[in-house]
Amino acid sequence: MRAQRIRAHYERRIYPGLKSHEILDWSSPEAQRRRFEVLGRVLDAECRAESGIVPLAGPLLLDVGCGLTDLCSFLEEGYRGVRYVGVDLSERMLREALRRHPGRRVVQADVFGANPFLPRKFDVAFCSGTFNLRLDNNADFAVLALQRLADLVRGCVVANFLHVRAERKCDKCFYFDPGHLCEAALRTGGTVQIIDDYLQNDFTLVLRR
């Protein structure tokens, strides 16, 4: 049911002439990019902790709910060493992604259901907008999802969420309390960092095992 609702929401927005952020239901390309820039900050910090060299050379990154692979375009601007793999529920979305960006590495799968990847295969897993759509159990699902993703990485999980402090809220979206989510994520093991200095209506959680 969860996967069907997510596919239905996004697939009806797919048109060849429509801009990427409109298909993915972001308010603007700038808002989408601000979220990507936070991932860039995390990549830089991880690199400094290990080698003191920026940008990080060669990490294998899984983009969960990759949509049209816009993150890959962002990484190509300043993080060319990152090896990108995108995964999405929607085969139709991935066909459109490959039409726009031929040759990118993408996989059609539900990593929270029938996960096709080996444990600790990736260095970083990233989710941008993956938890925005209101479902029946957003809070519980987010914690389970973070735990599943943590099992796939050697480094960290980076995920952004809509912030409960948002001044304007949309009925179709779910807004998280970062404090509550942080407490729940800590119970899965590891350390948690909250970053909420980039957009009024958003925050990023970094989970390291």
Taking each helix axis from N to C terminus, what angle separates 178-186 and 138-150, rounded to the nearest 10 degrees? 40
Q: What is the pLDDT of residue 56?
A: 45
3-state secondary structure of 124: strand
Give residue 15's pLDDT. 81
Q: Which residues is 205 bridged to in the sheet? A: 159, 194
Higher pLDDT, 113 or 63: 63
Listed residue (12, 67, 8) closest to 36, CA to CA = 67
pLDDT grade, residue 73 (50/70/90)?
very high
Residue 47: predicted pLDDT? 67
What's the pLDDT tens digit per position in 170-184? 999 999 999 999 999
The answer to whether residues 203 and 181 touch, using CB atoms and an 8 Å cutoff, is no
pLDDT mean over 36-63 = 76
**pLDDT score of 50 more than 80:** no
| Amino acid residing at 112 | F
DSSP 66: -
Placement of tokens 């490959």 in the chain = 98
Question: What does the alpha-carbon distance between residue 155 and residue 22 come to, in Å, rounded to a whole number?
Answer: 32
Mean of the per-residue pLDDT values for the chain? 90
CA distance 135 to 43: 30
User: How far apart are the C-alpha atoms of 89 and 86, rounded to whole Å?
Assistant: 10
pTM: 0.91
pLDDT-derived band at 55, boundaries 50, 70, 90: very low
pLDDT of 49 reads 59
The predicted structure's pLDDT at residue 17: 82
pLDDT reading at 53 higher than 50 = no
Whether 154 has a pLDDT exceeding 60, the answer reads yes
User: Which tokens hold the place of 10?
Assistant: 């996004």
Higher pLDDT, 95 or 29: 95
How far from 123 is each of 47, 111, 153, 208, CA to CA, in Å? 11, 16, 5, 11
172 exposure class (CB count in 10 Å sphere: 0-12, 13-18, 19+): exposed
Report the pLDDT averaged over residues 44-52: 65
DSSP secondary structure letters along 139-171? HHHHHHHHHHHHTTEEEEEEEEEEBTT-SS--T
More confident residue, 92 or 57: 92
d(Cα 207, Cα 154) in Å, to the nearest integer? 11
Architecture in CATH for domain 2-208 = 3-Layer(aba) Sandwich (3.40)
Region 14-27: what's the mean pLDDT?
82
pLDDT at 90: 95
Pairing relationship of beta strands 60-64 and 106-108 according to DSSP bridges: unpaired
Q: Which residue has the higher pLDDT, 205 or 21?
A: 205
> Is the pLDDT reported for residue 24 higher than 90?
no
